[in-house]
A and B are shown apart, each in its own frame.
Chain A
Amino acid sequence: MKIKSIFAASVLTMTALLSSPVLASEQAVSFVQDKVAQMLSILSDSSLNEAQKEDKFQQQLLQTADVNVIARFVLGKYAAKANAQELEKFSYAFQLYALSVYQSELSNFGSEVFEVKNSEERRPGDSVVLTTISGGSMDGKSEEIKWRVLEIKGTPRVVDVEISGVWLSQHQRAEITGIITKNGGDVSAASKVLCARSSQCHYNG
């Protein structure tokens, strides 16, 4: 009886261990599917004026991506050297910059069709979801977009997106660390540069 129980418990444990990555990956897929559909529906909602659309879109974007984690990532080696105040100011400037960039870049979308092709799990809680975008503004073409989804505090969050072979967070890290390096390792230099790109940002450094 005891052996039977141990065997049953082992099977259940193994099943749970083997199935959890699949579930995590499926969670990432449905997260990307839902969030992209919601963003496209905001962009194509003709009942909203531009300000309302911008506001709703930015809220949606903040629920989809973890901007603080991305901000820390784009600082590269300088993240560990920055003090709490510098990190906070950088995160603030980066968030406003990222929102303005993505708002501007994505405002031309709306009627496109997104389709999830597959997903791959790097490890539990860290997946890459492959989607394609076509129709609408794509001029008859189809483009692959990959989403890096991490489980953060038990919730999926997008931390990087790959388009045409370029991971955007990695690219921004190259740009941001370039600014900091040029300024002798001063993180606030990057905060000022980012802030200057957003009309909503008021930096007092």
Chain B
Amino acid sequence: MKYRLPVLILLVSGTVLGSCASRANRVAGDPLEPMNRVLFDFNTAMDKTILIPVAKTYQTITPKPARNGIRNFLGNLGSPVILANDLLQGEWKRAGDTIGRFAINTTVGVGGLFDVAKRNGLERHNEDFGQTMAVAGIGAGPYLVLPLLGPSSLRDTFGRFPDHYFAPLTYTQFNGKKTYLTTSRVVDLVDKRARVLKLVKKLRQTAFDEYNSVRDLYWQTRKDDIANGHTQIESLPEFDISSTE
């Protein structure tokens, strides 16, 4: 599986190094930049005051093998969402991989705690309804920063709803409440944040404008996700080499 942590982290990141963009300075694909920057700032504040301390504590008190087990378990629970989107995209081979991974990891992998399938050549991949819509030819729409959830686009925001209904935990209840779903989402967020503590720290230190940097990382990695990691070489930008001749 390709390492998607740089983007996952950015779910909760954001520091506004510059002032809100003026109308003339707005970037194509981000017509809502002034509002997005405010939300980005809010997410950063939440990250620094709540999520980072929680993630650091989680990392300290939970041994690495246990954290790996939690990640594997939550990843395995997400398999039906991936499978549904594999099928909707007509990705039969990948759908087969997802079924194989789920079957192996749920049984031999003790309920998904161990990623036995990966050791047998079945790598995990990600799919979601936003990607499915992209494959169907639906454009991304404007860039959005969602409160607490981070970078997205109009298309990918809508994509969250079907994925919610593809997730088995949506249909479980504990004392009449969706405790399992909520707990799994919170643990998943903390685990993902813990895995990218150093990376985000570095991003915040090196980015010239973190909002700008995160937005580009989001667009680029989404494009790569939609293409399942295969570079569409015809869409690569041109480099001007005339100045060297």
Contact = CB atoms under 8 A, between A and B. Distances in A.
Contact of B233 (A120, A170, A179): A120
Interface in A125-176: 128, 141, 143-144, 146, 148, 150, 152-153, 159-160, 162, 164-167, 170-171, 174-176
A170 B237 contact: yes
Interface stretch (A30-38, A53-61, A68-76): A68-76
Nearest to B3: A164
A120 B216 CA distance: 25
B241 A69 contact: yes
Contact of A166 (B21, B207, B215, B217): B217
A178 interface: yes
A170 B244 contact: no
Given A166-B6, A166-B221, A174-B212, A72 B240 contact: yes
A182 interface: yes
Contacts of A181: 25, 27
B200 to A, nearest CB: 14
A45 to B, nearest CB: 26
A193 to B, nearest CB: 6
Contacts of B236: 122, 128, 148, 160, 167
A167 B141 CA distance: 22
Interface in A62-111: 66, 68-70, 72-73, 79, 101
B213 interface: yes
Contacts, number: 95
Contacts of B206: 101
A108 B223 CA distance: 29
Contacts of B231: 120, 128, 146, 162
A171 B244 CA distance: 23
Interface in B177-225: 206-209, 212-213, 215-217, 220-221, 223-225
Contacts of B237: 73, 170
A178 B213 CA distance: 9
Interface residues of B, number: 35
Contact of A175 (B212, B243, B244): B212
B18 interface: yes
B2 interface: yes
A79 B241 CA distance: 12
A55 B239 CA distance: 28
Contacts of B225: 165
Contacts of A69: 239-241, 243-244
Interface string B226-245: 00010101101101110111
A152 B233 CA distance: 19
Interface in B6-51: 6, 18, 21, 25, 27
A44 B229 CA distance: 31
Contacts of B213: 171, 174-175
A167 B223 CA distance: 11
Given A128-B236, A165-B229, A167-B236, 11 more contacts: A66-B241, A69-B239, A72-B243, A143-B2, A143-B3, A164-B6, A166-B224, A170-B216, A170-B237, A175-B216, A179-B208
Interface of A: 66, 68-70, 72-73, 79, 101, 120, 122, 128, 141, 143-144, 146, 148, 150, 152-153, 159-160, 162, 164-167, 170-171, 174-176, 178-179, 181-182, 193
5 contacts: A164-B3, A166-B221, A170-B220, A178-B209, A179-B209
Which 3 pairs between the two chains have the least Cβ-Cβ distance?
A: A165-B224, A174-B216, A178-B212
